[in-house]
Amino acid sequence: MATLLDVSLLGNFTNIFVFLFVWLVVFGILELTHIFGSSKKGLNTMIAFIVALLVLLSKTATSIINFLISPFIVVAIALFFIFFLVKMFGVSDNATSELIKSPAVYVPILVVAALIIIFAITNSFGQKILEQEPLTDEDGNSTTTVSSTETGGFQDNLYDTFFNKKVLGLIVVLLVAVFAIAFLARTPKIG
């Protein structure tokens, strides 16, 4: 039954969306960085077009970008509204640019972007790696060891690995170490 919010037809156009997304992002990066010199719009357009076509030919790259588009759009919209609110309350342009340059702002954004990219890569390669043939030595013996996370599904294995008591303990120890180093490395404020 067709509804007002039924967008399943858009699934047939994912390759077009990926092509346009890659083309625009690569073009924007080339225009921003002036790698090939300023006022080379035609060359930048052609290079972006070729890169978008090459990405479209790779099913793995297309699936990674399909996974990346949604979270990055959500993050971009959230950042837009945050900066909109900052500007709405009368913060000057200089203060806003200083805010963007602050490590307290751009480091979490980079961490979120890195996590989204890691999730996209594991989403694309995870099950393929799991279904590969086991490695063998010269005698034909398997060199892989059986673990408690060896199941048929990549997501089940990922869940079992992340919520293993040894991994959770290691994460707690690493977090304690990171915060201890951060607090010990700070310069004290005198005065």
- Between the alpha carbon of residue 168 and those of residues 34, 154, 156, 157, 164, the distances in Å are 45, 19, 16, 15, 6
Q: What is the mean pLDDT of residues 64-78?
A: 87
Single-letter amino acid, residue 147: S
Q: What is the mean pLDDT of residues 79-87?
A: 88
Q: In a 3-state reduction of DSSP, which class is residue 102?
A: coil
Q: In a 3-state reduction of DSSP, which class is residue 94?
A: helix
Distance CA 52, CA 75 (A): 23
Q: In a 3-state reduction of DSSP, which class is residue 105?
A: helix
What is the reported pTM? 0.61
Containing 166, the helix (H) or strand (E) segment is helix 165-185
- Percent of the chain at pLDDT above 90? 19
Length of the chain: 191
Of 22-31, 79-88, 182-191, least confident by mean pLDDT is 182-191
> What integer pLDDT is reported at residue 99 of this predicted model?
81
> What integer pLDDT is reported at residue 53 of this predicted model?
95
> What integer pLDDT is reported at residue 162 of this predicted model?
74
pLDDT above 80 for 59: yes
Q: In a 3-state reduction of DSSP, which class is residue 134?
A: coil
Q: How many CB atoms lie within 10 A of CB 68?
A: 20
Q: What is the mean pLDDT of residues 1-20?
A: 77
- Report yes or no: 67 and 119 within 8 Å, Cβ to Cβ: yes
Distance CA 162, CA 57 (A): 34
Q: Categorize the per-residue pLDDT at 55 as very low, low, confident or very high, splitting at 50, 70 and 90.
A: very high
Scanning the structure block, which residue is given the tokens 């996974």?
A: 67
> What integer pLDDT is reported at residue 38 of this predicted model?
83
pLDDT above 60 for 145: no
Q: What is the mean pLDDT of residues 96-109?
A: 84
Distance CA 157, CA 143 (A): 19
Q: What is the mean pLDDT of residues 5-19?
A: 79
> What integer pLDDT is reported at residue 39 of this predicted model?
84
Q: What is the SS3 assignment for 2-45?
A: CCCCCCHHHHHHHHHHHHHHHHHHHHHHHHHHCCCCCCCHHHHH
The predicted-structure confidence for 160-183, as pLDDT tens digits, reads as follows 777 788 888 888 999 999 888 888
Radius of gyration over every alpha carbon of the chain, rounded to an integer in angstroms? 23
pLDDT above 70 for 143: no
pLDDT above 90 for 19: yes
